[in-house]
Amino acid sequence: MNSQLPQLFKENILQGTTIVQKQTYLKDLKGFFYHEAERELLLQNQLVYEVDAYFPVSAGTEGGLFFGVTRLQPGMVGNEYFMTRGHFHAIANRAEYYWTIEGHGQLILMNHEREICIEEMQPGSLHYIPGHMAHRVANTGNSLLSFGACWPADAGYDYTTIESEGFSARLCKVNGLPVLLTDEQQAL
Ligand code: PAN
Ligand code: ZN
């Protein structure tokens, strides 16, 4: 059996020869924010978040685990905080852990009935995301929000449900505080 070189998770950075990086820019988030016209006015090459991930087994391997670190920039589109796309897992019952490394934000969770709730993210907070829950993170602070994640290698991603239907509410800044607002409430 070949032994693997260990990856490093050091000074809050995931390092190693097999780390895969993915960046998401404002231009990749067309239609995600309520104020789409305001997103278009912003610098399209502005980085919103990046993920460093370690995939020790192939995607789809039953029983395997993936590990990732997401760095979400502070920023706003209109009254809405910078956020991740958000997704259900393709195998919907697959759960996941998130934990906050630095910064402040909210984890937004929504079930298939479109019931929604939020959990406050602050350094050290640990979040168990049950299966069948869409999950998205918004950075509500003025600094980088960095969080770790661990999820099953066969979970996969269902991005299309959120792309087409969105979450049932958005995290918006109201009188300086994060508040969940439905699109109907925004329109008032
Ligand atoms: C995370 C997310 C990561 C980026 O690793 O993939 O935070 O968010 P989006 O995938 O929604 O763009 C995870 O939940 N993996 O399953
Ligand atoms: Zn996930």
User: pLDDT in tens for each of the 188 residues of the chain?
Assistant: 666 777 888 888 898 878 999 999 999 999 999 999 999 999 999 999 999 999 999 999 999 999 999 999 999 999 999 999 999 999 999 999 999 999 999 999 999 999 999 999 999 999 999 999 999 999 999 999 999 999 999 999 999 999 999 999 999 999 999 999 999 998 88
- Both structure tokens of 121: 């993210």
Length of the chain in terms of residues written:
188
Kindly give the number of the ligand 1 atom that is closest to the alpha carbon of 87. 11
Q: Ligand 2 centre from 26 Cα, in Å?
A: 20
Q: Do 23 and 73 touch, CB atoms closer than 8 A?
A: no
Rg, C-alpha atoms of the chain = 17
- Pocket residue to mutate for ligand 1, from 51, 67, 151, 161, most atoms within 8 A of Cβ: 51
Q: Which amino acid is at 158?
A: D
Q: Ligand 2 centre from 105 Cα, in Å?
A: 17
Residue 84 near ligand 1, beta carbon < 6 Å:
yes
Q: Which ligand is nearest to the CA of 69?
A: 1
Q: Ligand 2 centre from 74 Cα, in Å?
A: 21
Predicted TM-score (pTM) of the model is: 0.96
